Amino acid sequence: MAASPSGVNRFYLVLGVIALTGIAALVYQVRKPKGVSIPANVTVLAADTAGFRGYLLGSDSARIEISEYADFQCPACQIFETIQFPAIREQLIATGKVRWRYRDFPLDNVHANTRVAAHSAACAADQGKYWEMHAALYDRQGEWGESRNAARLISDLAGTLGLDRGAFDACMSSAKYAGRIQASLDEGTRLGVGSTPTFLIGGRLYPGVISSDSLRALVDRTQPAPTP
C-alpha cells in the first residue's frame, strides 16, 4: 500500500528536524570554547615579569602603595571586593592618596578554577579591560567558581564585557600568562602571605578582610615603605 501524502510529509518533517538538530549540535561543538587548563608550578622566565609588577590602579605619585594578594575564587576576597573596595576606590584611590597593586595568589589546593580566572583577567588586560574583568569575576564568582567548565562561563562573561571573543579564547588556550601568575604567587610566598586576602601596607602584612574605614585610618598613620 502506498503511503498517504500526509504520512510522507510527516516523515520529511521529522527528518528535517533531526537534521537541524544535528547541525545545531555540530555548530555548538565547533564554536564552544575548548577546555582550558592553566599549569601551576611552572618555571618563571624573565619575560614573564619584564616590565610588570602587578595590576596597578591609582596615581603614580600616591604617598602609599597597597599590595593586595588575592584569589578570584576566594569567598573572603569576594566580600572585600564587592563590599569594601568600592569605598576604598572612591575615598583613597581616586583622591590620589593610595596606589593599589593587585597580585594573584591562587590557592590551588582549595580552588580548582582560580588560575583559570586569574589568567582570564590577564587576557582581558590585553584588550584594555583588566579591571572590568576583575570586577565581573568577583561579582559572578558563584556562577563560575564551582563549575566543571569555568573557562566557557568566563568566555561568555568576556563577551558581555565587549571583548573580542576569538582573541580572548585564543589567549586562554595559550596559557601564556601562567608564568606571570606563578611569579605573583612566589612573591607573596616569599613575603609570608599565607591566606587571602592579605594586604601589604608600609612593609607589614595584614591578613583578612579590612573595612574601608579601618584601611583609611591605617593609611593615615602609615609611612611609605619600599615596594617589593
* pLDDT, tens digit (0-9, with 9 covering 90-100), for 7-57: 555 645 545 545 444 443 343 344 444 578 999 999 999 999 999 999 999
Residue 189, phi then psi, degrees to nearest 5: -60, -45
Whether the model pTM is above 0.75:
yes
CA distances from 23 to 17, 19, 54, 128 (A): 10, 6, 45, 36
Domains of the chain: 46-220 (3.40.30.10)
* pLDDT, tens digit (0-9, with 9 covering 90-100), for 109-144: 999 999 999 999 999 999 999 999 999 999 999 999
- Rounded to an integer, what distance in angstroms lies between the CA atom of residue 21 and that of residue 203? 61
